[in-house]
Amino acid sequence: MWPTTPATLFIWLVLIQGSYALYEGMYCGKENCYEVLGVGRDDSKGDIAKAYRKLARKWHPDMHQGAEAKATAEKEFQRIATAYEILRDADSKTDYDYMLDNPDEFYWHYYRYYYRRVTPKVDVRLVSSQLPPSGAQTPHQGHADRQRGEASGN
């Protein structure tokens, strides 16, 4: 069961380490978003927003004097803003709660996190229904064709 050759051991370690590294860049990293804001999982959306505003007021970089204090406040403010961004959206919060409840499903979490971040927020069916039929000219194309015809003397 355990790897015996150095190459197998290396691959095995990379796979294990890679699966845990997925959490590093997702959600609040290795921290719990609820703990960052000081709220519980059952708190309402209003309570989460209130906790965010209180912490944001305290840690906003403009409220601190000196370069070192501003840098510390900026990092803390980013942590707070990231946690709030995840917990304010119902779909993102549901995915995050699922990740907390099922930590062994690495790749599902990875897929859902980047699916929410990268995919467009527009329903593609609405966009495609607004497109002209294949081969038809849009009003802009017809105008450009008419101008080309006038310029060539036709």
* pLDDT tens digit sequence for 5-28: 655 544 444 444 434 433 677 888
Structural domains of the chain sorted by starting position, each given as residue range(s) with its CATH number in brackets = 6-120 (1.10.287.110)
On whether the CB atoms of residues 43 and 93 are closer than 8 A, the answer is no
Question: Tens digits of per-residue pLDDT, 50-83?
Answer: 999 999 999 999 999 999 999 999 999 999 999 9
Q: Which three-class secondary structure state does DSSP give residue 123?
A: coil
Q: What is the mean pLDDT of residues 100-112?
A: 84
pLDDT at 144 over 80: no
Which structure tokens are listed for 125? 């069916």
Please tell me whether the overall predicted TM-score, pTM, comes out greater than 0.85 for this model: no
The length of the chain in residues reads: 154
Q: What is the mean pLDDT of residues 115-140?
A: 68
Count of beta carbons in the 10 Å neighbourhood of residue 47: 13
Angle of helix 90-101 relative to helix 106-118, nearest 10 degrees, comes to 170
Per-residue model confidence (pLDDT) at position 136 = 57
Q: Check residues 142 and 67 and name the one with the higher pLDDT.
A: 67
